Amino acid sequence: MAIIFDLDGTLINSFNVHSELIKKAIDRVIGKRSISLTFIQNNIRFPSKKMLGIASEKYGLNLTTKQMKDIIKLKDELFTEKYIKRIRFYPGALQLINFLKNKKINFCIATSMNDEELAKVEPYLNLYSITKVVNSPALKYEKPDPYVINKAIELIKAKRKKTVYVGDAETDYEASVNAAVKFIGVNNPLLKNLGYKYFKDIKSLSSFIKKNYLDFL
């Protein structure tokens, strides 16, 4: 059995940072008070383009493709050390990763971060020293496109029918379906009835894997 982990919202607590940054970008591009921070926080698990589309319809903004691209570009530019330093691994995440390493369980990280974002966070999270990492090179490959899962399967030479994808969003589940792999949801109660299993947090998932690790060998 192989395990592929999503990163944002699954292994790391990056949602507040991303919510703040996209709010700042929205305020600069289309004006303050156009989209509330609460709305962004409640929808941050969606890919940015989809979230902006939902917001555009909800708030009657009629956002253009150019405006959406400008918001996403500015958000990426604002993603600097000041904010990146606030991102941490969830409790139990690194312990789980070390357990998988010690038991020689096949795993990796598959994130929708583009090359620039990944390069920015790497000095602070040291992902490549932890495990193999694959990422999405462009917005067109954002989940539910199975691109990063398929790329991860190829990288770690996993058998698709014996692969589990761990994620925190409905689009993670949809991507797992599109990639024809099992799905384990974490950190998001909306995933309780989706996929193979659901755990309230990484600590709970870690306990499950430690008790049943032979199934993952």
Report CA-CA distances (Å) from 32 to 54, 100, 118, 215: 18, 46, 29, 51
| Residue 63: per-residue pLDDT | 92
From CA 9, how far away is CA 93, in angstroms rounded?
11
- What does DSSP assign to residue 160? G
Span 140-173, pLDDT tens digits? 788 899 999 999 999 999 999 999 999 999 999 9
Kindly tell me the sign of the dihedral angle through the C-alpha atoms of 143, 145, 147, 152: positive
Span 161-210, pLDDT tens digits? 999 999 999 999 999 999 999 999 999 999 999 999 999 999 999 999 99
Report if pTM > 0.75: yes
The residue behind tokens 């014996």 is 162
Q: Are 29 and 67 in contact (CB under 8 A)?
A: yes
The count of C-alpha atoms lying within 13 angstroms of the C-alpha of 154, restricted to the half-sphere facing its C-beta, is: 9
Span 5-62, pLDDT tens digits? 999 999 999 999 999 999 999 999 998 778 999 999 999 998 888 899 999 999 899 9
Q: Which CATH code is given to the segment(s) 2-13+87-216?
A: 3.40.50.1000
The residue behind tokens 């708030």 is 59
From CA 157, how far away is CA 77, in angstroms rounded?
35
